[in-house]
Structures are given as C-alpha cells and as structure tokens.
Amino acid sequence: MAKYKIGDYVLYGVSGSCEIVDIGTLSFGGPDKIYYSLKPIYDSRSTIYVPVAKEDDIIRKNLSKKQAGEVLDASKKTKAIKLTVNRDNCDPIIKSGDNEKLASLIKLLRDMRRENRKSHKGLNIQEERILADAERVFFSEIATAYSIPMDECVSTYTEVLD
C-alpha cells in the first residue's frame, strides 16, 4: 500500500518540493515496478521516478502553511552551523528535511559569501552549488505551503536567513 497519493506535495532530495502526479507501473529494462512520478514544483521540465518499495527515500510530506510560518519564525533565531563546507558534510543536511539545520547551513554560506566579498571574492563553485541546493529545498517548501511563486518567496523571506 502506497504511503502517499496523487496530488500530495512531498520533499525529495535536493529537488525540494515535488507534487506526486502519478503512481503506476513502469519498466526500466528490468521487472515492472510501481513508481511514484514526482514533478519538482520549481522545475517543471523534470520528472523523478521513485519506486513505491523505496518510498522512504521521500523525506516527508510538505509543511502546512501554519508549519511554514513556524519554520520562518524559528529561522530568524537560528545561528549559522559550524562545519567544513563540502558535499560530504552538507548533502546529509540538505537531504534531511530538517529546516533548522537547512537554515543554519544557508546562514553559514551566506555569511561566508559576505566575508569573502570584503576581499573581492565569493564562494567557490562547490559552495555556490551547495547554497543553491539548500535554498531550493528550504524555499520551495515554504513557497509551496504559501502557494506563491518561488522567486516571490525568496525575495519576501530571504531576510529571515540573513
């Protein structure tokens, strides 16, 4: 029995907020399996297929509007996490669905960017990608909860993470 249903909004990996648009049998060169078809909310060109047997790879259902407001309020008080910025350290945070840790990571990277700009530098390519992934996951879920476009969400709520 599937844990999620068509029309549910879920958080998935670095894709962020996705809508389950179909649940059905697909064959990718092996035996037929039942898959969730996920459409990332802010990348309509992509479709992600997750076997129902591996539905635990889906982090969780999206936040409600009330929960999103609570996350934004809590994020104002969140401090930047202290860690070495690399994929091994950051990917587990991004894929965790833990908004407090995501907010802390975003604050760390934005602080690093501000500091580096003082000496006319920025973040390196890997750090920029990590920041983009973290912001996509964080803001896509908030935008979905509030039913607003992603760019509007980022411009409205970005100060929460500065």
pLDDT of residue 42: 83
Share the mean pLDDT of the chain: 93
Q: How do residues 1-10 score in pLDDT, each as one tens digit? A: 679 999 999 9
The residues with which 39 forms a beta bridge, in sequence order, are 19
pLDDT along the chain (162 residues), means of 10: 90 94 88 93 90 91 96 94 95 94 96 92 94 95 94 92 86
- Say if CB 46 and CB 15 are below 8 A apart: yes
pLDDT of residue 30: 80
Provide the angle, in degrees to the nearest 10, between the axes of the packed helices 125-146 and 99-117: 130
Domain with CATH 1.20.58.1290 in the chain: 65-161
Q: What is the CATH number of domain 9-61?
A: 2.40.10.170
- Say if CB 18 and CB 12 are below 8 A apart: yes
Element (H, E) at 117: helix 99-117
Domain with CATH 2.40.10.170 in the chain: 9-61
Fold held by 65-161:
Methane Monooxygenase Hydroxylase; Chain G, domain 1 (1.20.58)
- Say if CB 158 and CB 114 are below 8 A apart: no
